[in-house]
Amino acid sequence: MNIDMHLMNYPEFQIHDKLSLKLKGGVFLISAVSRQTISRLPVYLGYLRSLEGSVPTISATAIAEALNLNDVQVRKDLAAVSSSGKPKIGYVTADLIEELESFLGYNSPSDAILAGAGKLGRALMSYQGFNAYGLNIVAAFDTDSGLYDTQEAGKSILPLDQMKPLCEKLKVRIGIITVPAACAQGVCDMMVKSGIQAIWNFAPVRLNVPEAILVQNENMASSLALLRSHLRERAGL
């Protein structure tokens, strides 16, 4: 069941293990789909996109086998977002792609701003792959005045004091933080005051935000720790 909340313009973010927020038709919805399911849907979509045009129909079992996943889980995941599957036939590949893209908000482009135009920030600004996920970084902000007359991938780098006017003018609701940890909370506070309601945080620090603000953390240190742990286990240490 979906519940209309507010007219907002940003894609999907998690608010609970059993609930997620997503944009559909310009309306912010609560979707009773688990966080685990949400995290797997882009994987299915990426695989299906690689088959588009060559495999007219596909089953949940075939997807599971290709991705080395449990077929029961894949079937449940797809059933949560699509009702087009048919027994012994499966899904029309093109239709399932369209349903996944719609559910994930990929066909409803959302503007975002970025704070911290260092190497990571500029790399994200230049990444063309975001277009496929319905994300458009419109501008970046930084404290380095030497960057103010420059652009990255055609996107301007502006002073922080221009954040609120730009967000209000363009109705931007997504903010990306790529500043050092010591600066992250201050930048986060500025984003909240500028009307940002969903934050993608790359800084290695936990942010304090009002209850209505959503934060998705990308902790590189945690990911690296998992990689190293795996290598130690493989080496028998």
Domains of the chain (ranges, CATH numbers)? 1-108 (1.10.10.10), 110-222 (3.40.50.720)
Is the pLDDT at 69 greater than 80? The verdict is yes
Task: Round to whole Å and give the CA distance between 34 and 98.
Answer: 20
Percent helix, strand and coil across the chain, each to the nearest 5? 45, 25, 30
Residue 59, SS3? coil
Average pLDDT over residues 70-87: 92
| In the block, residue with structure tokens 């609930």 | 19
| Confidence bin at 163 (pLDDT 50/70/90) | very high
Average pLDDT over residues 154-161: 96
Average pLDDT over residues 14-18: 39
Q: Find all residues with CB under 8 Å of 111, minimum gap 6, and list them.
A: 9, 136, 137, 138, 170, 171, 172, 173, 174
| Confidence bin at 73 (pLDDT 50/70/90) | very high
Task: Round to whole Å and give the CA distance between 36 and 32.
Answer: 12
Look over the chain and give the mean of its residue pLDDT values, rounded to a whole number: 86
Angle between helices 60-67 and 35-51 (to 10 degrees): 90
- Percentage of residues in the chain having pLDDT higher than 70: 86
**What Å distances lie between residue 123 and 36, 78, 93, 152, 191, CA to CA?**
28, 33, 33, 9, 21
Q: Which of the residue ranges 39-53, 103-117, 184-198 has the most confident prediction, judged by mean pLDDT?
A: 184-198
Q: Which two tokens stand for residue 112?
A: 């975002």
Considering only residues 56 and 33, tell me which one the structure prediction assigns the higher pLDDT: 56
Backbone torsions φ then ψ of 155, nearest 5 degrees: -115, 135
CB atoms within 10 A of CB 203: 23
Sheet containing 151-152: which strands, arranged edge to edge?
Answer: 151-152, 155-159, 135-142, 110-115, 174-177, 198-201, 214-217
CB atoms within 10 A of CB 115: 27
* Across 18-22, 105-109, 160-164, least confident range: 18-22
CB atoms within 10 A of CB 10: 24
* Across 17-26, 32-41, 79-88, least confident range: 17-26
pLDDT in tens, 82-117: 988 888 889 999 999 999 999 998 888 899 999 999
Is the pLDDT at 27 greater than 50? The verdict is no
Task: Round to whole Å and give the CA distance between 78 and 194.
Answer: 37
Is the pLDDT at 121 greater than 90? The verdict is yes
Q: Is 153 left (phi over 0), alpha (psi -120 to 50) or beta?
A: left
Average pLDDT over residues 193-206: 96
Segments in 55-118 forming alpha helices (H): 60-67, 71-81, 93-104
Task: Round to whole Å and give the CA distance between 114 and 210.
Answer: 20
Q: Which of the residue ranges 37-46, 80-89, 173-182 has the most confident prediction, judged by mean pLDDT?
A: 173-182
